[in-house]
């Protein structure tokens, strides 16, 4: 299940991304409305955490366009504006929830989980590569219909690759997404995790390859043999 985080304060974004990772939820972080527009045009998201004050505009003005791009998406708006009329304006503009800064991360995570549970959110179709299938909503992995159980880090790596199937994912992006900003992660740790996932998928005969581009990153694709 993927979340788009639109936040220009780097420290805040890092903390939120880490909390989401700890909860088993992957997040793509962007810092402007233009970057959010590009992300939404290239991938499907279950929920957006949208800061209101961004370098290139007010997040409030972007809500109608976001709804047109992905009608079923859930939106949690973050803002330093805590006046009642501002909160009402955000909700009436299309936000599903509104949280004022500063906030407690426990409350933020509770609101995100509530938003993901709320009926009406658009379900994302399974991603299929070779004989491997990944359900973004349930975070379920299967090979030819048989469920495959992975360790937490292996699942996070697979999800990061499957959501960008047939595209190269940089090592930096994978480390940030899987390990977060605060952990002592390095390329060697990522290499070992990729080796473990490769071995697991080979055992299941998933008919996929995890292709490595030295010094760049990794890509999952259908096996050529």
Whole domain around residue 174: which residue ranges?
A: 127-222
In a domain, 186, yes or no: yes
Query: Model-level pTM?
Result: 0.56
The residue-averaged pLDDT of 121-132 equals: 78
Q: What is the torsion angle, in degrees rounded to the nearest 10, for the CA atoms of residue 176, residue 36, residue 1 and residue 68?
A: -170
The closest alpha carbon to 48, from 92, 24, 14, 16, belongs to: 16
pLDDT in tens, 9-24: 999 898 888 888 766 6
The residue-averaged pLDDT of 130-153 equals: 90
Model pLDDT, residue 124: 60
Based on the fold, state whether residues 93 and 180 are members of the same structural domain: no
Please classify residue 208 by burial: count the beta carbons closer than 10 Å to its beta carbon, then call 0-12 exposed, 13-18 middle and 19+ buried: buried
Domain count, the chain: 2
In a domain, 122, yes or no: no
Based on the fold, state whether residues 10 and 86 are members of the same structural domain: yes
Asked whether the predicted pLDDT for residue 182 surpasses 50, the reply is no
Based on the fold, state whether residues 16 and 85 are members of the same structural domain: yes
The closest alpha carbon to 161, from 137, 143, 177, belongs to: 177
Based on the fold, state whether residues 84 and 134 are members of the same structural domain: no
Inter-CA distances, 104 with 19, 91, 219, Å? 12, 20, 36
Read off the pLDDT band of 36 (50, 70, 90): very high
Based on the fold, state whether residues 98 and 167 are members of the same structural domain: no
- Report which secondary-structure segment, H or E, holds 147: strand 146-148
């Amino acid at each position: 299940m993927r979340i788009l985080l639109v936040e220009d304060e780097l420290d805040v974004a890092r903390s939120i991304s880490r909390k989401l990772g700890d909860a088993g939820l992957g997040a793509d972080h962007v810092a402007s409305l233009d970057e959010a527009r590009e992300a939404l045009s290239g991938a499907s998201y279950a929920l957006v955490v949208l800061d209101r004050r961004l370098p290139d505009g007010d997040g409030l003005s972007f809500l109608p366009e976001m709804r047109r791009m992905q009608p079923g998406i859930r939106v949690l708006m973050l803002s330093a504006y805590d006046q009642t009329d501002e909160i009402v304006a955000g909700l009436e503009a299309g936000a599903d929830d509104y949280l004022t800064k500063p906030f407690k991360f426990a409350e933020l995570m509770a609101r995100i989980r509530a938003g993901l549970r709320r009926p009406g959110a658009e379900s994302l179709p399974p991603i299929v590569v070779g004989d491997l299938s990944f359900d973004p909503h349930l975070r379920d992995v299967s090979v030819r219909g048989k469920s495959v159980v992975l360790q937490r880090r292996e699942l996070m790596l697979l999800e990061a690759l499957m959501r960008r199937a047939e595209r190269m994912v940089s090592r930096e992006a994978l480390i940030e997404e899987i390990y977060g900003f605060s952990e002592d992660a390095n390329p060697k740790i990522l290499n070992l995790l990729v080796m473990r996932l490769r071995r697991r998928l080979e055992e299941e005969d998933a008919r996929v390859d995890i292709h490595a581009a030295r010094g760049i990153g990794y890509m999952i694709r259908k096996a050529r043999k």
